[in-house]
Amino acid sequence: MIIDGQHYQSIWYDEAQDGVHIIDQTGLPHRFETRALTTLEQACHAIASMQVRGAPLIGVTAAYGMYLALRADPAQQVSASASLLATRPTAVNLQWALDRVDGALAGLAEAKRAAAALKLARQMEAEDIATCAAIGTAGVTILQQLWQQKADKDAPLNLLTHCNAGALAAVDWGTALAVVYKAAEAGIPIHVWVDETRPRNQGASLTCWELGKQGIANTLIVDNAGGHLMQQGRVDVCVVGSDRTTIDGDVCNKIGTYLKALAAHDNGIPFYVALPVSSIDFSTAATATSIPIEERGAHEVSHLQGVDASGALTTVRVAPEDAAISNYGFDVTPARLVTGLITERGVVAASKAGIASLKKGA
């Protein structure tokens, strides 16, 4: 992603310094800061505090976390893996990445573990970029068709997205937003409706920022506006990401995704999910009702963070002090509401057969 003329990834390894670096997303869009991760604890904190977030990025950060842990003490493989796994429950990419690291380290002498973990983490970083770019390319075909079908050629193709499934949610490109970036590269005039995505406002703070930096036209809307815009014919397609997709094609993503899918279905608007195969939970035990849904603190709902007139970061309370609050981070959209899954291996149906066709080598 280009930020003020410079290319950045959300996470990168600096060989000269033997350092892992991230964009700290908790300050965006107000503060652009990068941080070095030097220990396992810092990697765990980065994921848990959402300095890094988004399913693909969580996975790659966990792989680097294993490297940092083993560099300090190659005997702590099992405990390091457990600590990283405990940071966030919903995105299956975390388990996927840790399983890959464990597999690569199996049978290795302690002295060789850190180097092997680093090699794999760097490979996963590079793979994620290629994977997301391929997702984007696969999605362009769909947007091209929708653009050709659109009667009003004076208006851009209007795509609605939820949360942030962009370059900030992966190493680069993103998933849903990779489709947008590749469509723009292909010359499709595109405009993005960005759901603010309460309570943490990843849409307002991250997606608007990221799209703006890439020069993509976008409009921020409150989470409840999508249905109205769809009824007005002002949404041509919805594309979102996924934290965990089951073998039946049910899609777990940021809370509120399900309501957008319902509204899209009611209005005959295609609803696509863009995801890497690493976001699919191939275990047969994973069903729509068994996915661990993250429950987060009440403070995210009762309070809002932003900058005041002087530019200082500040937090204000919007709910009564004694309000009872629940804060589910994710919901599950049933496969029947999903038009298709856009993956690096092509576009498939959100169904048992569609998912099975992706399994090879997963």
- Looking at the Cβ atoms of 76 and 137, the one nearer to ligand MRU is 137
Residues touching ligand MRU, count (CB under 6 A): 18
- Interaction mask 244-263, ligand MRU, x per CB under 6 A: ---------xx---------
Burial of residue 73, with CB atoms counted within 10 A of its CB: 0-12 exposed, 13-18 middle, 19 or more buried: middle
Alpha-carbon 279 to chain mean position? 10
Q: Sign of the CA dihedral 62, 63, 65, 69?
A: positive
Sole binder of ligand MRU in the list 241, 256, 340, 354 (CB under 6 A): 241
Give the residue with the Cβ less far from ligand MRU, 10 or 77: 10
- Residue 102 or 294: the one with the smaller Cβ distance to ligand MRU is 294
* Segment interacting with ligand MRU, rule: CB under 6 A, options 1-9, 52-60, 225-233, 308-316: 52-60
Using rule CB under 6 A, residue 174 touches ligand MRU: yes
E strands present in 200-349 = 217-221, 237-240, 244-245, 251-254, 271-274, 303-307, 313-317, 330-333, 340-343, 346-348
Closest approach of ligand MRU to the CB of residue 110, in Å: 33
| Beta strands across the sheet bearing 19-24 | 11-14, 19-24, 33-37
Sequence-ordered strand ranges (E) for 135-205: 157-161, 190-195
Q: Which is nearer to ligand MRU, 55 or 159 (CB)?
A: 55
The token pair at 94 is: 């975390």
Nearer to ligand MRU (CB atom), residue 66 or residue 169: 169
Q: Indicate whether 158 belongs to the interface with ligand MRU (CB under 6 A).
A: no
Q: Quick one: 236 or 331, whose CB is closer to ligand MRU? A: 331
Tokens of 226: 């999508």
Instruction: Name which position in 43, 44, 56, 244 contacts ligand MRU (CB under 6 A).
Output: 56
CB closer to ligand MRU out of 169 and 180: 169
Least Å distance, CB 255 to ligand MRU, is: 8
Nearest-CA neighbor of 167 among 23, 347, 44, 61? 23
Q: What SS3 class is residue 45? A: helix
* Interface map 124-153 toward ligand MRU (x if CB under 6 A): ------------------------------
Contacts of 220 (CB under 8 A, 6+ apart): 194, 196, 203, 204, 208
Residue 243 catalytic? Answer: yes
Q: At a CB cut-off of 8 Å and minimum separation 6, what does 304 contact?
A: 201, 315, 316, 318
User: What is the rounded distance in angstroms from the CA atom of residue 45 to the CA atom of residue 326?
Assistant: 23
Options 51-59, 74-82, 188-196, 264-272: segment touching ligand MRU (CB under 6 A): 51-59
Supply 91's token pair.
């995105």
Residue numbers 188-227 binding ligand MRU by CB under 6 A: 202
97 belongs to the binding site for ligand MRU (CB under 6 A):
no
Give just the sign of the alpha carbon dihedral 106, 110, 114, 119. Answer: negative
Catalytic residue among 128, 172, 236, 243: 243
At closest approach, how far in Å is the CB of 88 from ligand MRU? 7
Q: How far is the CB of 320 from ligand MRU (least distance, A)?
A: 26
Please name every residue paired with 194 in a beta bridge, in sequence order, or none if there are none.
161, 220
Work out the number of other CB atoms within 10 angstroms of the CB of residue 245. Answer: 30
Stretch that binds ligand MRU, among 64-72, 168-176, 181-189, 297-305 (CB under 6 A): 168-176
The reply on whether position 170 binds ligand MRU by CB under 6 A is: yes
Contact code string over 308-337 relative to ligand MRU, x by CB under 6 A: ---------------------x--------
The residues annotated with a catalytic role in the active site are: 243
